[in-house]
Amino acid sequence: MPDSQATAAADAGAPPLELRGRMETLLTLTLGSADPQQLRAALIDKLRQAPDFFERAPVILDLAALAGQALDADALLALIREHRLLPVGARHGDAAQMRALEAAGVPSLRALVAREAPAGGDHGGDRSDDVATAAAPLVEPPVAGAGTPTVVARPVRSGQQIYARGGDLVLLGAASPGCELIADGSIHVYGALRGRALCGVGGNRGARIFCQNLAAELISVAGHYKLLDELPEALRGQPTQIWLDGDQLRIELI
């Protein structure tokens, strides 16, 4: 065989270069302030909640709230990188902000914005695979139209995190211990729920958790949480629903 590299490529039937439009799932960092002091404090606070999950995570900067404000792109990027996040793109900024960020090496995603809305709508069954196999430990599907559920067909493993942004999360497999299911809406788990489940994280107090087999390490509705040890013995392993009644977390058999 003449050249091992060439042989491998030929065997795999793959051309040396391929350009494909793939939907990747990325974190969005929405900036509510251009003030470095405020941002620093907020970042420290945010990252303290889950330091490892965000380690070297690629993020998209959303500047929608900063329209018209002066932005020191270099200082902003240095601050974000200092907290071990990797800015890979920016959007919703005004022309001057986008130019400054592009000059600092962070491309503008304006072109992608227009495509996003229809993509969320006609995604249907395909999306579940994308979500389960995405590279980052934190898996966030692209912004879907309100009420579009994120459906995950594979088990969610220890160390994996799934975030259903703006809607419900439906998990057909099991959620292993050490995983995190997060949704702005409700969470439905058809396998055993053994990891953590946090619904209504955007403050939706009407969100609920439904599961076939409750063995969760932690359950939370809109920030009100309970640990496994606090769950009544009689409900463990049972099909249950969990919701917020006033400030009281309620767990009941279905």
Q: Can you give the binding site for another protein, defined by CB under 8 A?
A: 1, 4-5, 7-8, 11-12, 22, 132-137, 154-155, 157-160, 173-174, 176-179, 191-192
Contact criterion met (CB below 8 Å) for 213 and 237? yes
- Give min distance, CB of 171 to another protein, in A: 12
Kindly give, in sequence order, each residue whose CB lies less than 8 Å from that of residue 46, ignoring residues fewer than 6 positions away: none
- Give min distance, CB of 153 to another protein, in A: 12
Count of beta carbons in the 10 Å neighbourhood of residue 245: 9
In which order are the strands placed within the sheet that holds 57-62?
A: 27-30, 57-62, 85-91
- Give min distance, CB of 42 to another protein, in A: 28
- Give min distance, CB of 169 to another protein, in A: 17
- Give min distance, CB of 229 to another protein, in A: 17
Kindly give, in sequence order, each residue whose CB lies less than 8 Å from that of residue 241, ignoring residues fewer than 6 positions away: 208, 209, 210, 211, 251, 252, 254
Q: Which is nearer to another protein, 1 or 70 (CB)?
A: 1
Q: Which is nearer to another protein, 77 or 169 (CB)?
A: 169
Q: Which is nearer to another protein, 154 or 205 (CB)?
A: 154
Q: Which is nearer to another protein, 22 or 48 (CB)?
A: 22
Q: Which is nearer to another protein, 18 or 45 (CB)?
A: 18
CA–CA separation, 12 and 18 (whole Å): 13
Q: Which is nearer to another protein, 56 or 99 (CB)?
A: 56
**DSSP string covering 85-151:** EEEEEEES--HHHHHHHHHTT--B-HHHHHHHHHHHHT-GGGHHHHHHH-SSSEE-PPPPPTTPPEE
- Give min distance, CB of 152 to another protein, in A: 12
